A and B are shown apart, each in its own frame.
Chain A
Amino acid sequence: MKKLLITGYFLIFILIIVLLGGLWSSYRDAPDQPIAFSHKKHLTYVGLECDHCHQYAEVGLQPGIPAVSVCMDCHEAVATDSPEIIKLTGYWNRKEPVPWAGVYYLPQHVLFTHKRHIKKGIDCSECHGDMKVVEKVRQVRSLRMGWCVTCHRENNAPVDCWTCHK
């Protein structure tokens, strides 16, 4: 009986570890996007800059997700027969926005401003990784408070709570 209990205990313990492991990988995983947009293609092969699409990074809190019409500026003519672009054209024809899945998540009580960081001269890749080689976007930094504060301390940036909390 006692042996059984101990085995049961271990089983539960292992189960939890497996669950947590699964969690960790799902945390690391890139979420599926409605259209398999490749940053690599657009940045490396086409040679676009980040702010071609994310035009508000230097002036706004958020960098902005490009309007469908911005995609269609090129894709009305470019790669129109590719299955992904057919999906895009579908959205455009239905006049529907593309419901991109968010990758970087910040809780509601955190205020992050892209503008201040870009104006300070911090490269996008510091937080987002080298997007030139990324096919499917995933989160590459923990975005935990400790990570923010470490960088703030190193760069003499303000660490007052209400700088980033709201």
Chain B
Amino acid sequence: MQRRDFIKILGLASGASLMNSCGAKKGAEKLIPHVIPPEIEIIPGQAIYFNTTCTECPANCGVSAKVVEKTIDQQLERYPVKLDGIKNHPVNDGKLCIRGQSSLTRLYDPERLKSPLMKDENGEMVECTWDDAFTRILEALKNSDKKHAYISSRTTGTLSSLIDTFCNRLNIQRLKEFEIFSYATLREAHKVLFDRYEVPSYSIDEADFLLTIGADIFETHGNPVSHMIQYAKARKKGMKWTHVEPHVSLTGLQADQRMVLNPESELYLLLYLARQLAGNRLTQLPDPGLDRVVQSTGLTEEQLKDITTAFQNASRPLLLIGEIATSSEHGLEVAVLSGLIQWTSGMMERGIDFNHSLNYDSVGTFRDLKALAWQLQNQDMGVLFMSKVDPVDKHPISFYLKENLSAADLVVGLSDFMPVLSDDYDIILPLSHSLESWGDAETRKGMRTIVQPVLEPLHNTLCEGDILLKILEKRSGRALAPNFQEYLFARLKRTLSNDKVEALLDQGYVETSTPVGKLNLNLRSVRRFLRDITLPQLPEGMVLIATPSLKSFDGRSRQLELLNEIPDPLTTITHDDWVSISEGAAKERGIKEGNVISIAVGDKRIMELPVKIQPFLSDHVVMVQRHMLDTFALSISDKTGDSINYLSRLTMQKTGSNVDLAIMAGSLSQEGRGVIPNPAHHDAHHHVEGRKSLYPEHAHENYRWAMAIDLDLCVGCSACVAACYIENNIGVVGKEEHLKGREMSWIRIEPYYEEDGTAHFLPMMCQHCDYAPCEAVCPAYAPYHNPEGLNVQVYNRCIGTRYCSNNCPYKVRRFNWKTHEWTDPQNRGLNPEMWARPKGVMEKCTFCIQRIRFAKDKAKDENRLVRDGEVVPACAQACPTNAIVFGNIMDKESEVYKWAHSDRVFRVSEHLGTEPSVYYLQRKRDDHSDHA
């Protein structure tokens, strides 16, 4: 083809496409009004907030759902676009963790079950109507003379009582609820000690010395968000904290003093501590002797003395145990002994609260799962209901359960995603998300919270309560209640006063009075128990520790893409499963990061996973998040029914294959670059006043926005990262892109492991430099400095040269390599206050400029300036420890001004002369950390 012909055709084609694209716009966008204005008025463009309850984990935090009206597919509907904590909520006081934030992506996940499914003759799962499903269930219930059973995950409140009614009327046995994290050991210990099979709630905020043994209070234990809030309060009052663990956990890294003991040797430590701290009353305790304690635990004599002295010197010490410490063979002994120390040091009156214990009354243990598997194996199961539970974990018992599930006449699953065992299910009923359902929860004694719908169900789903009511109605022809909402309200009105019900609906929670029961030590059972304690043999060689997961909890959140996209804070790995080993162990065996190793117990191969080298990990410990194990190798404690999360007699072998792990951090060390200078160099040579610049000084009229982050409070929980993704419509790109370094997160947590055994977690986002290197190099003038001190990106000007990103020393600019697909219904959850940037555009943190704009708009209405604390960026709002403050640094009364003038302050790479607007506060150093 001639060049000219080509140009001619090109001209015609572009003319035609121009006509098409422009012509389509006119009148195509429909303005859809309401038919009748809704009861709750929404001003167009303004959000409204509903108080409800998070159901991502048993903590049941209060959630304030931000809801906007949107026209999608010519339908005007309300959609939640952001979740945050309810202010002053007794559990989570305005904060929400990484999983709570991501709950919104569960709602909009395209993989959710969209209609009831039934197995046809060929064994295929096909869509069916609700009515067909109910008919089949009722037929099976009627025709089978075997027993029927109902198993669910932890369920509280009205739904739990409805399940009871349902089971009674249809002659179904309600099994103990199943939770992988059932706290069975703790509960058993409290039964031995006080005759109370309960999990108490904790308040850390009053403690002046905290000793945690194995408990991952910031990750999964009890209520992590409330622990973080309390920790921040205590920390500001100067609380000292010692953490003892055999592995490396996020919680442990935050402690002033982190001590590493040998796996499963907690009993020796506790025996030592009990003798030292609980006094002479415990004469029947075996005495291993100091030497043996030192030898078994691997702690030095000095460390042991440190703990006891700190404990004895403290006026309000607090001891918490859990997770790793209670999940060994001797977990129960450990828990009982620490219960004794807690009791004798008066912690039950202060810090450990049995009057508001967590509601685990009907939660069973793995033992109950054994009974179920047995029943299945005996061909004695008619209809089995499995609600929100995938009781297949890492134990042989789950294997039997899985093998025998098909022995039941009919297995009915209630789930939001396709269950792991879906092959063996006969009917799968899709559940609505909690944001689409009515309900309530009683997460702990004296606390009721409401679950209320904020949108119409997106798919053909029902909430569990409605399903049960409909089955009952179909059976008897008479409705117990027209729907679960009515049923709920009837019960609420029966059990609460009118004002309480109103308060419940309005603020999302009410506190009710609980009987104050006095704890009594059951001396007889304690004596009997202590008499039977024997000194255990400790495992030799390599030990594997299966840990809970910050992001996936017990594995229930692993299908959420957003959580996979956010780096694990310890290793910065995304999207992958891995096993952590120490540098020493890797060197010894010639293993490199990414090498797939095969791990065997004895001669039984249990898993193959790629390796990540974990700083601070002991050479004889292998660490893996339990949901990443793809094996039934873990065992169950005979004494408590809890899971034992240790495997010993390990052998490790390279398989020869390799996996490219998506590791986001270039290094887990500062490499001596002084990212976090030590000591903070407020007036050191880095900071040069009156630096010469080619550019004129920036003038600021009323506002100059700045942020300050206290590294002493940041625990690396990554709630801010999830909040940022959702607030700013940031695309989720997947592992392939991550491997190319094309991640999109605007804020990231940088873990730095220091040589002195401490670790830092540094949240890094656009530093909004006064002399921003990105601004000077853009040929299109897309990044510029606005009059309020923000470094802003004008997306429409951006032509994608990516010079700015190359020139940014903080690596915070993100380029859209492709247009992100927000498939329906994900597009419904986009924040309308923010544009979803298209391909070819550079983007980055804006300090949540939409929130600044909102606050300024409001201030202008009231003819004033924005007040301090009125603008809260999404990261700061989510941060459970309030480690981030934001505000106008020109206002000398503002919090951010005070923080920026703290004597711990520094800015990252200050020597570059970029003059960032983000100030960091160095971790508080003390005597402890120096020799830790």
Contact = CB atoms under 8 A, between A and B. Distances in A.
A102 B30 contact: yes
Given A109-B796, A162-B849, 5 more contacts: A15-B12, A16-B12, A31-B27, A67-B34, A162-B792
A103 B28 CA distance: 9
B40 interface: no
A60 B15 contact: no
Contacts of B698: none
B35 A97 contact: yes
Interface string B608-628: 000000000000000000000
Contacts of A129: none
Contact of A116 (B18, B74, B795, B857): B857
B26 A31 contact: yes
B43 to A, nearest CB: 4
Interface in B70-94: 74, 76
B44 interface: yes
Interface stretch (A17-25, A38-46, A77-85, A146-154): A17-25
A107 to B, nearest CB: 9
B857 A102 contact: no
B181 interface: no
Interface string A102-124: 11010011010101100100000
A16 B13 CA distance: 10
Given A9-B8, A162-B853, A166-B833, A60 B33 contact: no
Contact of B33 (A9, A19, A98, A111): A98
Contact of A19 (B15, B27, B853): B15
Contact of A16 (B11, B787, B794): B11
A26 B33 contact: no
A109 B835 contact: yes
Which among B11, B43, B76 has the highest number of chain A CB atoms within 10 Å?
A: B43
Interface in B830-867: 833-836, 846, 849-850, 853, 857, 860-861
A56 B44 contact: yes
Contacts, number: 131
Given A68-B35, A68-B36, A29 B26 contact: yes
Given A102-B27, A108-B835, A23 B18 contact: yes
Interface of A: 8-9, 12, 15-16, 19-20, 22-23, 26-27, 29, 31-32, 56, 59-70, 91-92, 95-103, 105, 108-109, 111, 113, 115-116, 119, 160-163, 165-166
Contacts of A162: 786, 790, 792, 794, 846, 849, 853
Nearest to A138: B26
B32 A99 contact: yes
Contacts of B666: none
Contact of A61 (B8, B23, B46): B46
Nearest to A59: B43
12 contacts: A15-B15, A26-B22, A63-B44, A64-B43, A69-B34, A100-B30, A101-B31, A102-B30, A105-B26, A111-B833, A166-B833, A166-B835
B37 interface: yes
A8 to B, nearest CB: 8
B794 A161 contact: yes
A166 B850 contact: yes
B604 interface: no
Contacts of A96: 35
Contacts of B43: 56, 59-60, 64
B402 to A, nearest CB: 48
B12 A66 contact: no
